[in-house]
Amino acid sequence: MSLVDSGPPSDVHSLVTVQLRDVTRELTVVNIGTILGVAHLIPETERRWLVNSRINLRTFNGICWDHRGGLYNKINSGSDVAWMWATLLPDGAVASRSQLGDKRV
């Protein structure tokens, strides 16, 4: 994967965006010693992802990820990204599900 615009965090959600390389070798061999850990990517489009470096997975799965599609579609719809991350991230505070529900209305 390659960085979008050389890797600056977005002004909107402060996350880095990565995308599949357009012209790419089929694979690259690396030493396993260079693998630092498992990464969590949030799909933005089919070829682009946000790199989650802010929310732990328990919070993400409990609040952001709605398998029925509602809130997750909101995140993906673009204009709601700023609202979503602003709601979840200021100073590490996390809104509860009910608070999110109220704001969505």
* Interface region with another protein, contact rule CB under 8 A, candidates 32-40, 62-70, 74-82, 94-102: 32-40
18 in Cβ contact with 3 (< 8 Å): yes
Q: How far, rounded to the nearest angstrom, does the alpha carbon of residue 59 sit from its chain's CA centroid?
A: 13
Among 11, 23, 35, 105, binds another protein (CB under 8 A): 35
Contact between 67 and another protein by CB under 8 A: the answer reads no
Among 30, 67, 68, 93, binds another protein (CB under 8 A): 30
Quick one: which of 52, 54, 41 has its CA closest to 93? 54
**Which one, 25 or 67, has the nearer CB to another protein?**
25
